[in-house]
Amino acid sequence: MHLENTLTHTPNYYLLTYSSRVSEMASSSSSTFIIGLITLLILVFGSANATLYTNFYSSSCPKLLDTVKCEVESAISKETRMGASLLRLFFHDCFVNGCDGSILLDDTSSFTGEKNAGPNKNSARGFEVIDKIKSAVEKVCPGVVSCADILAIAARDSVQILGGPTWNVKLGRRDSRTASQSAANNGIPRPTSNLNQLISRFNSLGLSSKDLVALSGGHTIGLARCTTFRARIYNETNIDSSFAHMRQSTCPRNSGSGDNSLAPLDFATPTFFDNHYFKNLIQKKGLLHSDQQLFNGGSTDSTVQTYSTNPASFFTDFSAAMIKMGDISPLTGSTGEIRKNCRRVN
């Protein structure tokens, strides 16, 4: 039975049960039973409200998925890189106090958001696309769908459009009324992270080492700025020399020169979602220090090897890890809000 149907019938069932139990209590005058029943109701309705499920908007916004995908397809047709940007926004949202759309909030005179945190400043992009999707969704079902859910769907669609897997996105998130620049600075893994730091951060969010490797495979699409890989191509030894020289040609050694020059995270197929990212790591052609850490004589080497030769395994695990990441601390029920504008609190 779908959870939506379960929730539809649950209140009547519990009201009937409650009426029946009240009669019993009248005769038994059991205060212990009253406390137990109230606790049960809180647990039942509380857990139901905290649940995300794939058909959350099936009645309230049946055109949601088609509307989002149409806008994502339009954005990627104009700029292929946008698919990677939208996927990255979802990562950076979920890693900071859960998948609550906090990354989308603009700074104001009285509010400091996450857009100017170190990992996001001059880097996170795609906000205008989310605005456009939100406007389109508001036209078909105003005031119903959260920005957090729109971001989750857009990330999935981006991967699929660029040749990757698809999965059923669990929905029902609400939008945060707060953001945390300090949490963004501290919570989003840095491109300079070592393997132990990466594993520790992912584990702290309920994600395994396998999830870490699979989700890192999202770097099969997208671009990175020179500032994020300069130290690797000039100072590190676990890098293919010809690859390092190629990257050095557009990323000068001295900071301040060419800082914003871009390079593909996967030089082989930079606009196609596949498993070449892992093949690159085995050849010591990972662009970021944190990328190559996944294949550097450590505990994740075997997973990288598996994904490099078995794209189906990568696709399956990536999809499962995306669903798992999407479950990180969502706001549901009466917490948070449904923003009218993704950039500001109502």
Token digits of residue 77: 């047709």
Token digits of residue 192: 């300079």
Catalytic residue numbers read 92
Which three-class secondary structure string do you get for the chain?
CCHHHHHHHHHHHHHHHHHHHHHHHHHHCCHHHHHHHHHHHHHHHHHHHCCCECCCCCCCCCCHHHHHHHHHHHHHHHCCCHHHHHHHHHHHHHCCCCCCCHHHCCCECCECCCCCCCCCCCCCCCHHHHHHHHHHHHHHCCCCCCHHHHHHHHHHHHHHHCCCCCCCCCECCEECCCCCHHHHHHHCCCCCCCHHHHHHHHHHCCCCHHHHHHHHHHHHCCEEEHHHHHHHHHHCCCCCHHHHHHHHCCCCCCCCCCCCCEEECCCCCCCCCCCHHHHHHHCCCCCCHHHHHHHCCCCCHHHHHHHHHCHHHHHHHHHHHHHHHHCCCCECCCCCECCCECCECC
Confirm if 337 and 174 have CB atoms less than 8 A apart.
Answer: yes
